[in-house]
Amino acid sequence: GAVVSQHPSRVICKSGTSVKIECRSLDFQATTMFWYRQFPKQSLMLMATSNEGSKATYEQGVEKDKFLINHASLTLSTLTVTSAHPEDSSFYICSAKSLQETQYFGPGTRLLVL
């Protein structure tokens, strides 16, 4: 149990385009999901907290208009990177918090912006 999926697993896009990443909790409902990104040889950095049915809360320094987060259901959150640039290339990882308060992570999405 406690499986979280992400789609796509990797994506390559042109600079200036937008990319949507989906995060799904497959066997449990998650009122709270989190989005992280990770640059090579660095630790995970929390970007935002996403609560079902309400606006996301962004960490300091993360542009909310660039990283649009939608949490429309108890099993799905999406992250849209708008007008992507090469510096947005990174490994994006989501997690979903279970009712027992444990966070389970997705496998990650590798984004490459050319």
Should residue 4 be labelled a site residue for other proteins when binding is judged by CB under 8 A? yes
Radius of gyration of the chain, Cα coordinates, nearest whole angstrom: 13
Should residue 102 be labelled a site residue for other proteins when binding is judged by CB under 8 A? yes
Minimum CB distance to other proteins smaller for 19 or for 47: 47
Q: Identity (one letter) of the amino acid at 10?
A: R
Q: Which of 7, 11, 49, 68 binds other proteins (CB under 8 A)?
A: 49
Minimum CB distance to other proteins smaller for 1 or for 14: 1
Which among 53, 101, 43 has a CA at the least distance from the CA of 77?
Answer: 53
Q: Which of 30, 95, 96, 113 binds other proteins (CB under 8 A)?
A: 95
Residue with tokens 């993360």: 62
CA dihedral 82, 47, 70, 51 (to 10 degrees): -170
Q: Which of 30, 81, 84, 93 binds other proteins (CB under 8 A)?
A: 93
* Calpha distance 49→57 (Å, rounded): 5
Q: Identity (one letter) of the amino acid at 98?
A: S
> Which residues within the stretch 53-92 sit at the binding site for other proteins (CB under 8 A)?
54, 57, 91
Q: Give the CA count within 13 Å in the CB-facing half-sphere of 31.
A: 3
Residues lying near other proteins in the complex (CB under 8 A) are found at 2, 4, 6, 32, 34, 36, 43-46, 49, 51, 54, 57, 91, 93, 95, 97, 101-108, 110
